[in-house]
Amino acid sequence: MAAITDEQVERVRALVASIPSGKVATYGDIAAAAALSSPRIVGWIMRTDSSDLPWHRVIPASGRPAAHLATRQLERLRAEGVLATDGRVPLRGDRCVRHVFDDEPSAR
């Protein structure tokens, strides 16, 4: 059963909430940290969950979020201190995936 449980959602929420200002995480990294089956699931959770999570700190590995969100994303990120170049978020160095769960040995 490939149904997402509240636990998975809670995990993603915790990860996103653990992202410090001025830093951003990619869906893929969060999905891996949350042990999700696919990075798409993270996007689905964000879309469905209208929590106060800083979803704007979560960006795709391409550095270019969906057009309908890109504007909002970049503007919010800029307010956080993340300057986007040409509508592109610099994943280089700003990438920060807080492994809030020490269950991952790859957490360095």
Partner DNA sequence: GACGTGACGCTAC
Partner DNA sequence: AGTAGCGCCACGT
Report the interface residues with DNA, using CB under 7 A: 2-4, 26-28, 37-50, 55, 58, 60-62, 65-66, 68-69
- Phi, psi (rounded to 5 degrees) for 51: -70, 180
Structure tokens at 31: 């999905």
CB of 60 to DNA, least distance (A): 3
The residue among 45 and 102 lying less far from DNA, judged by its C-beta, is 45
The residue among 66 and 83 lying less far from DNA, judged by its C-beta, is 66
| Residue partners of 11: CB distance under 8 A and separation at least 6 | 33, 34, 35, 101
CB of 22 to DNA, least distance (A): 20
Contact 54, 19 (CB under 8 A): yes
